[in-house]
């Protein structure tokens, strides 16, 4: 006698993302003049986002962060906890605090 068992489990999304804001300068700039990358790993979807940007100014980092956050939200992956690297600007910390609450 054959049995066909099917197991289903639900996993609650935890909303964690991990970021590396400044991976170091890219040796050869892109055709758009971008020389840095922001890398974000979303735990729930197991997806890695990369956003190029031109300079290490707080405003450039903030613009890249907003673009990735919008992509996450558009995909239904609203971050609840972001683990920041040690080079995060105060501007980004303030923005993230507002987005997660």
DSSP for 11-42 reads -----EEEEES-----SS--TT---EEEEEEE
Give domain 16-99's CATH number out of 1.10.10.10, 2.40.280.10, 3.30.930.10, 3.30.420.10: 3.30.420.10
pLDDT confidence tier of residue 97, bands split at 50, 70 and 90: low
Buried/exposed 30-59: b ≥16 CB within 10 Å, e otherwise: eeeebbbbbbbebbbeeeebebebeeeeee
Residue ranges of the domains in the chain? Answer: 16-99
**Confidence check: pLDDT of 101 > 60:** no
Give pLDDT tens digits for 40-84.
Answer: 899 888 889 889 988 888 788 888 888 988 998 898 888 887 777
Contacts of 55 (CB under 8 A, 6+ apart): 35, 36
Identify the residue with better confidence: 24 or 71.
71
């Amino acid at each position: 006698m054959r049995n066909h068992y099917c197991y289903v489990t639900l996993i609650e999304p935890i909303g964690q993302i991990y970021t590396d804001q400044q991976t170091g300068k890219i040796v050869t700039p892109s055709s758009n003049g971008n020389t840095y990358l922001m890398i974000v790993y979303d735990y729930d979807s197991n997806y890695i986002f990369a956003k190029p940007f031109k300079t290490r100014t707080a405003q450039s980092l903030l613009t890249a962060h907003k673009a990735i956050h919008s992509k996450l939200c558009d995909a239904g992956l609203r971050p609840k906890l972001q683990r920041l690297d040690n080079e995060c600007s105060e501007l980004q910390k303030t923005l993230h605090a507002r987005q997660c609450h």
